[in-house]
Amino acid sequence: MDLVNIPDLVNFFSRFGNEFSYLAVFSTLILCGFGLPIPEDISLVSGGVLAGLGYANEHVMFGVGMAGVLVGDGSVFLLGRVFGEKVLQIPFIAKFLTPERFSKVQEKFSQYGNWVVFMARFMPGLRMPIYLTAGTSDRISFFRFLFLDMFAAAISVPIWVYLGHYGAKNLDQLSNLVHQGQITVFALLGILVLALVLYFTIKKKRSGK
């Protein structure tokens, strides 16, 4: 995560004042879902910093963060559901999701099922392609997608928002805390992936008997 961008983003959000800072964070998170070149984590941490500086309430910001993430992700999913594989022909989508990448994501769904949606929340580079692919397929309903995404967001969103709130007065310390938070999140993801691989390997062996 490039923390150099956090002060700039906080400064941008704070220009909207206390009343509209929530809307600024909410809108940015939705655009992040569609590929805005600002890491979602930075937006959430910056929202937390806003709260720590007195521009917002940290608990309300957490709710706004959850809403922005879910609306953005849900919109990407519905875009895939409405247009199907024709979504690959939309110019700005084609930059993120090539036919080759689309096929690879489909393979992951075949291997791990709907849990790919859960894991995608912790994989920024693959998040949008996976959600679009999920929408184009009949493997998962919108409500199941939303549930899995909300489950994952309930883990990641509070980490970044409250971390930003805690470190708002000391961005150097915040840099270290976010780095530690990233390591923790990826370590937990790695454990989850290993557990899923083990589960499906055992399941496959048992079904082959």
Q: What is the pLDDT of residues 145-182, one digit of tens each?
A: 999 999 999 988 998 999 889 888 776 667 666 666 66
Whether the Cβ atoms of residue 82 and residue 108 lie closer than 8 Å to each other: no
Taking the domains of the chain in order of start, what are their residue ranges? 6-170
Q: Taking residues 126-148, what's their average pLDDT?
A: 88
Q: Which residue has the tokens 């939309």?
A: 90
Highest-pLDDT range among 1-10, 27-36, 82-91, 142-151: 142-151
The C-alpha angle 55, 33, 90, rounded to 5 degrees, equals 145
Is residue 122 within 8 Å of residue 185, measured between CB atoms?
yes
139 with 114: CB under 8 angstroms?
yes
Predicted local distance difference test score (pLDDT) of residue 183: 66
pLDDT surpasses 70 at 52 = yes
> What b/e sequence results for 195-209 when a residue is b if at least 16 CB atoms lie within 10 Å of its CB, and e otherwise?
ebeeeeeeeeeeeee
Residue keyed to tokens 């009949």: 138
Whether the CB-CB separation of 1 and 42 falls below 8 Å is answered with yes
pTM of the entire structure?
0.80
